[in-house]
Amino acid sequence: MALSKLYLKLDEDIKSAMRRKDEFVLKVLRFLKSNIDSVAKDKLKELSEEEVVAVLRKRIKQSEDAKEKYAQGGRADLADSEAREMDLINTYLPTQMSQDELARIATSVASQLGARSMKDFGRVMGRVVGEVAGRADGKSIKAAVEAVLQPPAR
């Protein structure tokens, strides 16, 4: 199995950051590559493109949580650093789909499955997650599915 394109791009960008002596980018990209390598070692195989994207998304989630904590603790400098890190990581992720597109997919899946209430949430959510494959985050998907399955307000 060949290495994923995203992994190879990270590797090339690490070399480029070394040549430019860009310490921040170098630190972040090395950390990402280390995370990917660690997950690959745990799974005893090279990661697919989707699995590499999942590792990057997990890191963004961790940075979001850390940014919130730093901001609450009055450490704006560290919160800004986490925000810069998230911005850099986002450049490696596939473009996120719009809320409208996500709502259309959730509606389509719900009608295909005959889902009418929140009792069907798990089935619809699983299918929508499979269809959007890394182009939307979990919170957005959950919100779209809930909006489709919620009874209309009276």
The answer, yes or no, to whether residue 2 has pLDDT greater than 70, is no
For the segment 131-145, what is each residue's pLDDT rounded down to a tens digit? 887 778 788 889 999
Most confident of 28-37, 45-54, 118-127: 28-37
Alpha helix positions (H), the chain: 5-20, 23-43, 49-72, 76-90, 99-113, 121-132, 138-149
Most confident of 34-38, 50-54, 92-96, 146-150: 34-38
Q: What is the mean pLDDT of the chain?
A: 89
Kindly state the average pLDDT of the residues 18-32: 96
What are the phi and psi torsion angles at 152 (to 5°)? -65, 140
The token duo for 146 is 């809930």
Q: What is the pLDDT of residue 40?
A: 92
For the segment 47-103, what is each residue's pLDDT rounded down to a tens digit? 888 889 889 989 998 999 999 999 999 999 999 999 999 999 999 988 888 889 999
Q: Running DSSP on this structure, what letter comes out for residue 135?
A: S
pTM of the model: 0.70
Q: Domains along the chain?
A: 5-90 (1.10.1510.10), 99-149 (1.10.10)
The token duo for 68 is 């919130």
Work out the percent of the chain whose per-residue pLDDT is above 90.
Answer: 58
The answer, yes or no, to whether residue 14 has pLDDT greater than 80, is yes
